Amino acid sequence: MNKLPAIHICLIHPADYLYADALLDPARYFYYQFSRLSSNTSFEKNVLRRDAVNFIFGAHNGFDPGLLRDHCCILVNLEQLADNGADVGDYYRKLLRHTIVVDYDRRNPPFYSNYPEEVPIVSFGYAPYMSPRSDRAVPLQERPIDLLFIGILNDRRLDLIRRIESSGIRVHAMQQIAYGSARDNVLRQSKALLNLHSYDCSRFEQVRAFVSLSNGTPVLSELRPDTEAGPVFDACVTWFDEQQMLPLFSQDFGTPLFYQVMEQQLELFRGVDTLPEYSALLDFAAGVWKAHRPRMVLSEKITRIGRGFPSPLKSLSSGTLEVSTFSVEGNVKELAPVFQIIEDSDWHVEQFIHHEKYDHGLLEIIVAVTQHHRQPGIAGHARYYPSFDRLLKRMAESLPRMEKLCSPGEELESRGKGNDLSTDQVPGNRPNEQGCTPAQEATSLLVATDLCEEGSMLRLMQSLVEKTPNPVLYLTDLFGSYAKSAEAVQKLRVQFPGVSLVISRSSNLWDKAEELAALCHRLEPSKIWLCHHPQDAVAVLGALPCRSARRFWVHHAPGGPCLGASLAELEHVDLDAETQRACSRNLNRDCSLLSESV
The pLDDT of residue 383 is 74
Other beta carbons less than 10 A from residue 355's beta carbon: 12
Tell me the range of 26-30, 503-507, 576-580 where mean pLDDT is highest: 26-30
The pLDDT of residue 401 is 55
Report the number of secondary-structure helices (H) and strands (E) in the chain: 18, 20
Kindly state the average pLDDT of the residues 454-478: 86
Band of the pLDDT at 430, cuts 50, 70, 90? very low
DSSP 9-39: EEE---TT-TTGGGGHHHHHHHHHHHHHTT-
CA dihedral 577, 581, 587, 589 (to 10 degrees): 90
Tell me the range of 141-145, 240-244, 286-290, 369-373 where mean pLDDT is highest: 286-290
Q: Which residues is 220 bridged to in the sheet? A: 194, 238
Give the separation between CA 30 and CA 122, rounded to whole angstroms.
10
Give the separation between CA 510 and CA 530, rounded to whole angstroms.
18
Give the separation between CA 574 and CA 593, rounded to whole angstroms.
5
Q: Give start and end residues of each alpha helix (H) in 50-191.
A: 89-97, 155-165, 181-187
The CA–CA distances, whole Å, from 50 to 57, 59, 231 equal 17, 18, 38
Check the CA dihedral 77-78-83-89 and report its sign: negative
Q: Report which DSSP code applies to 326.
A: S
> Over 50: is that where the pLDDT of 311 sits?
no
- Specify the long-range contacts of residues 77-80, CB closer than 8 Å, at least 24 apart: 77/101, 77/102, 77/103, 77/104, 77/108, 77/112, 78/23, 78/26, 78/104, 78/207, 79/108, 80/105, 80/108, 80/198, 80/199, 80/201, 80/203
The pLDDT of residue 140 is 93
Q: Is 367 helix (H, G, I), strand (E, B) or coil?
A: helix
The pLDDT of residue 209 is 95
Other beta carbons less than 10 A from residue 547's beta carbon: 9
Backbone dihedral angles phi then psi of residue 243, each to the nearest 5 degrees: -75, -35
The pairing of strands 53-57 and 302-304 is: unpaired
The pLDDT of residue 374 is 65
- Helices 256-269 and 206-214 pack at an angle, to 10 degrees, of 100
Q: pLDDT tens digits, residue range 90-130? A: 889 999 999 999 999 999 999 999 999 999 999 999 999 88
Share of the chain above pLDDT 90, in %: 40
The pLDDT of residue 106 is 92
Kindly state the average pLDDT of the residues 343-370: 86
Task: Give the range among 37-41, 221-225, 312-316 with minimum mean pLDDT.
Answer: 312-316
Give the separation between CA 164 and CA 106, rounded to whole angstroms.
31
The pLDDT of residue 46 is 87
The pLDDT of residue 193 is 95
Give the separation between CA 549 and CA 543, rounded to whole angstroms.
9
Q: Is 74 helix (H, G, I), strand (E, B) or coil?
A: strand
Q: Containing H/E element for 373? A: none
The pLDDT of residue 173 is 86
Residue 124 makes CB contacts below 8 A (sequence gap 6+) with: 26, 29, 104, 206, 207, 209, 210, 274
Residue 270 makes CB contacts below 8 A (sequence gap 6+) with: 126, 131
Task: Give the range among 34-43, 284-293, 532-541, 554-563 with minimum mean pLDDT.
Answer: 554-563
The pLDDT of residue 433 is 36
The distance of Cα 392 from the centroid of its chain, to the nearest Å, equals 16
Q: Is 56 helix (H, G, I), strand (E, B) or coil?
A: strand
Give the separation between CA 18 and CA 141, rounded to whole angstroms.
33
The pLDDT of residue 488 is 86
Single-letter code of the amino acid located at 247: P
How many Å from the N-terminal Cα to the C-terminal Cα in the chain? 74
Count the alpha carbons within 13 Å of 385 in the hemisphere toward its beta carbon.
Answer: 28
Give the separation between CA 369 and CA 362, rounded to whole angstroms.
11
Q: Average pLDDT of the chain?
A: 81
**Do 23 and 11 touch, CB atoms closer than 8 A?**
yes
Q: pLDDT tens digits, residue range 525-558? A: 999 999 999 899 999 999 999 988 999 999 876 5
The pLDDT of residue 376 is 60
pTM beyond 0.85: no
Band of the pLDDT at 200, cuts 50, 70, 90? confident
Give the separation between CA 300 and CA 228, rounded to whole angstroms.
42
Q: Give start and end residues of each alpha helix (H) in 317-452.
A: 343-354, 358-372, 386-396, 402-405
Give the separation between CA 189 and CA 139, rounded to whole angstroms.
9
The pLDDT of residue 74 is 97
Kindly state the average pLDDT of the residues 315-326: 28
- E strand intervals along 391-468: 422-423, 444-448
The pairing of strands 72-77 and 238-240 is: unpaired
CA dihedral 174, 178, 184, 190 (to 10 degrees): 0
